[in-house]
Structure 1
Amino acid sequence: MSVDLRAKNITGLEAEQALDKAGITVNKNTIPYDPQKPMITSGVRLGTPAITTRGMKEKQISIIAGLFDDAIAHAKDDKALKGIKEQVKLLCAGFPMYPGFEN
């Protein structure tokens, strides 16, 4: 799934870096008619199989969306991103990839 970040006033590259600090893996990605250069971009791509493989459903996806939005809103606040990362870890701990997998 691609997300256009222009309304959030953040580039895809900045979002990718902030979300990584928050424990959420995305890729910067161009969007249709992207005004940014390809190495910067105006969007990100989320890989939904990483969510569904863990057995997460709508409730967890709603939580992830909130964490995603919080990380974007606090992209330059490393302390906030660290707190978000702890929430991501707690969520993922309840949905391991497979028995014995360490998050």
Structure 2
Amino acid sequence: IPFDTESRFVTGGIRIGTPSVTTRGLKEQGMVKIADWINRVVTSRDMATIVQVRQEVRALCDQLPLYPEFKRTDY
């Protein structure tokens, strides 16, 4: 984490790997969207925001499935 003064043994933030999102075809703007979702959920105090973000994530995952040959039944 840039400018983190804590030891690597002390949790200081959230690290996000990008292989699965780039495999799905997301680019920089996709990561901006993911960061926005994380921010909205972490800073939210109401369930409506969490439900809304969940719907947005599902919609994106439906557009860019990790395994296109498998159809989502429900999750």
Same fold flag (TM > 0.5): yes
Contact 2:25/2:64 (CA < 8 Å) preserved in 1?
Answer: yes
RMSD of aligned alpha carbons? 2.7
CA distance in 2, matches of 1:98, 1:72: 28
What is residue 33 of structure 1 aligned with on the other side? 6
Q: CA deviation at 1:32?
A: 4.8
- Higher RCO (C-alpha under 8 Å, 6+ residues apart): 1
1:48-85 deviation per Cα after TM superposition (whole angstroms, max 9, x unaligned)? 112111111122222112112111211x4223111111
CA distance in 2, matches of 1:3, 1:70: 22
For residues 53-64 of structure 1, the aligned pairs below 5 Å read: 53-64=23-34
Structure 1 residues without counterparts, runs of 5 or longer? 5-30
CA distance in 1, matches of 2:67, 2:41: 27
Contact 1:54/1:97 (CA < 8 Å) preserved in 2?
Answer: yes
Contact 2:6/2:12 (CA < 8 Å) preserved in 1?
Answer: no
Structure 2 residues without counterparts, runs of 5 or longer? none
- Give aligned-pair identity as a percent: 30
1:88 aligns with 2:47: no
Runs of 4+ with deviation above 4 angstroms: none
Length, aligned pairs only: 71
* TM-score, scaled relative to structure 1: 0.54
1:65 aligns with 2:35: yes
The answer to which structure has the higher strand fraction is: 1
CA distance in 1, matches of 2:39, 2:17: 16
CA distance in 1, matches of 2:2, 2:71: 29
